[in-house]
Amino acid sequence: MSGKIKGIVNKLISYLSGDKLIQWGVDRQLGFIFYIFVLICVSIAWSLLVEQSLVKVQKNERELQELRISYQQRTLDLVGMNNRTRIDGMLKSQGSKLHAPENPPQRIILEK
Protein backbone atom coordinates (compact mmCIF):
# COMPACT_ATOMS: atom_id res chain seq x y z
CA MET A 1 0.00 0.00 0.00
CA SER A 2 2.78 2.41 0.83
CA GLY A 3 4.38 1.66 -2.55
CA LYS A 4 1.26 2.85 -4.37
CA ILE A 5 1.07 6.01 -2.29
CA LYS A 6 4.79 6.63 -2.84
CA GLY A 7 4.31 6.22 -6.62
CA ILE A 8 1.38 8.64 -6.64
CA VAL A 9 3.34 11.16 -4.58
CA ASN A 10 6.34 10.85 -6.94
CA LYS A 11 4.11 11.39 -9.99
CA LEU A 12 2.49 14.39 -8.34
CA ILE A 13 5.89 15.84 -7.46
CA SER A 14 7.13 15.31 -11.04
CA TYR A 15 4.09 17.15 -12.44
CA LEU A 16 4.33 20.01 -9.96
CA SER A 17 8.10 20.40 -10.26
CA GLY A 18 7.93 20.66 -14.05
CA ASP A 19 9.83 17.47 -14.88
CA LYS A 20 6.98 16.27 -17.11
CA LEU A 21 6.98 19.57 -18.98
CA ILE A 22 10.69 19.21 -19.69
CA GLN A 23 10.13 15.63 -20.87
CA TRP A 24 7.47 16.88 -23.31
CA GLY A 25 9.86 19.53 -24.65
CA VAL A 26 7.92 22.55 -23.45
CA ASP A 27 11.15 24.28 -22.44
CA ARG A 28 12.00 24.67 -26.13
CA GLN A 29 8.69 26.46 -26.72
CA LEU A 30 9.05 28.83 -23.77
CA GLY A 31 9.46 31.91 -25.98
CA PHE A 32 6.26 31.13 -27.85
CA ILE A 33 4.37 30.49 -24.60
CA PHE A 34 5.61 33.84 -23.25
CA TYR A 35 4.53 35.53 -26.51
CA ILE A 36 1.03 34.04 -26.21
CA PHE A 37 0.85 35.13 -22.56
CA VAL A 38 1.79 38.70 -23.53
CA LEU A 39 -0.82 38.71 -26.30
CA ILE A 40 -3.50 37.59 -23.86
CA CYS A 41 -2.49 40.31 -21.37
CA VAL A 42 -2.55 42.97 -24.09
CA SER A 43 -5.96 41.76 -25.24
CA ILE A 44 -7.38 41.99 -21.71
CA ALA A 45 -5.87 45.46 -21.19
CA TRP A 46 -7.25 46.65 -24.53
CA SER A 47 -10.74 45.36 -23.67
CA LEU A 48 -10.68 47.20 -20.34
CA LEU A 49 -9.50 50.40 -22.01
CA VAL A 50 -12.26 50.22 -24.62
CA GLU A 51 -14.87 49.53 -21.95
CA GLN A 52 -13.74 52.54 -19.90
CA SER A 53 -13.89 54.72 -23.00
CA LEU A 54 -17.42 53.54 -23.79
CA VAL A 55 -18.54 54.29 -20.23
CA LYS A 56 -17.17 57.84 -20.55
CA VAL A 57 -18.86 58.31 -23.93
CA GLN A 58 -22.23 57.13 -22.57
CA LYS A 59 -21.91 59.41 -19.55
CA ASN A 60 -21.10 62.38 -21.79
CA GLU A 61 -24.02 61.57 -24.11
CA ARG A 62 -26.44 61.54 -21.16
CA GLU A 63 -25.09 64.86 -19.92
CA LEU A 64 -25.29 66.33 -23.42
CA GLN A 65 -28.91 65.17 -23.74
CA GLU A 66 -29.78 66.83 -20.42
CA LEU A 67 -28.12 70.05 -21.57
CA ARG A 68 -30.08 69.97 -24.84
CA ILE A 69 -33.34 69.55 -22.92
CA SER A 70 -32.42 72.43 -20.60
CA TYR A 71 -31.50 74.61 -23.58
CA GLN A 72 -34.79 73.91 -25.34
CA GLN A 73 -36.80 74.62 -22.17
CA ARG A 74 -35.04 77.94 -21.69
CA THR A 75 -35.52 78.82 -25.36
CA LEU A 76 -39.26 78.13 -25.09
CA ASP A 77 -39.47 80.21 -21.90
CA LEU A 78 -37.72 83.14 -23.60
CA VAL A 79 -39.93 82.90 -26.69
CA GLY A 80 -43.01 82.86 -24.47
CA MET A 81 -41.77 85.89 -22.55
CA ASN A 82 -40.98 87.69 -25.81
CA ASN A 83 -44.48 87.01 -27.17
CA ARG A 84 -46.11 88.21 -23.97
CA THR A 85 -44.16 91.48 -23.91
CA ARG A 86 -44.82 92.04 -27.62
CA ILE A 87 -48.57 91.51 -27.14
CA ASP A 88 -48.58 93.78 -24.07
CA GLY A 89 -46.82 96.46 -26.12
CA MET A 90 -49.34 96.13 -28.95
CA LEU A 91 -52.26 96.40 -26.54
CA LYS A 92 -50.81 99.51 -24.89
CA SER A 93 -50.09 101.15 -28.23
CA GLN A 94 -53.75 100.71 -29.26
CA GLY A 95 -55.02 102.01 -25.92
CA SER A 96 -56.58 98.74 -24.80
CA LYS A 97 -57.45 98.18 -21.16
CA LEU A 98 -56.59 94.46 -21.29
CA HIS A 99 -53.75 93.29 -19.09
CA ALA A 100 -52.25 90.02 -17.90
CA PRO A 101 -54.28 88.28 -15.21
CA GLU A 102 -53.10 88.78 -11.66
CA ASN A 103 -54.28 85.36 -10.44
CA PRO A 104 -53.52 82.11 -12.20
CA PRO A 105 -56.42 80.35 -13.91
CA GLN A 106 -58.59 78.15 -11.73
CA ARG A 107 -60.35 74.95 -12.61
CA ILE A 108 -64.11 75.06 -12.44
CA ILE A 109 -65.65 71.88 -11.09
CA LEU A 110 -69.19 71.21 -12.21
CA GLU A 111 -71.37 68.88 -10.19
CA LYS A 112 -73.76 66.69 -12.13
Distance, CA of 29 to CA of 8 (rounded, Å): 28
CB count within 10 Å of CB 1 equals 5
Whether 101 is covered by a domain: the verdict is no
pLDDT in tens, 17-68: 777 777 877 778 888 889 999 999 999 999 999 999 999 999 999 999 999 9
Domain total of the chain: 1
Whether 68 is covered by a domain: the verdict is yes
Structural domain boundaries, residue 49: 9-93
Whether 48 is covered by a domain: the verdict is yes
Whether 84 is covered by a domain: the verdict is yes
Whether 54 is covered by a domain: the verdict is yes
pLDDT in tens, 65-112: 999 999 999 998 888 777 878 888 888 888 888 877 788 888 888 887
Whether 106 is covered by a domain: the verdict is no
Q: What percent of the chain has pLDDT over 90?
A: 37
Q: For the chain, how are helix, strand and coil distributed in percent, rounded to 5? A: 80, 0, 20
Reply yes or no on whether the pLDDT at 3 is more than 80.
no
**pLDDT attached to residue 18:** 75
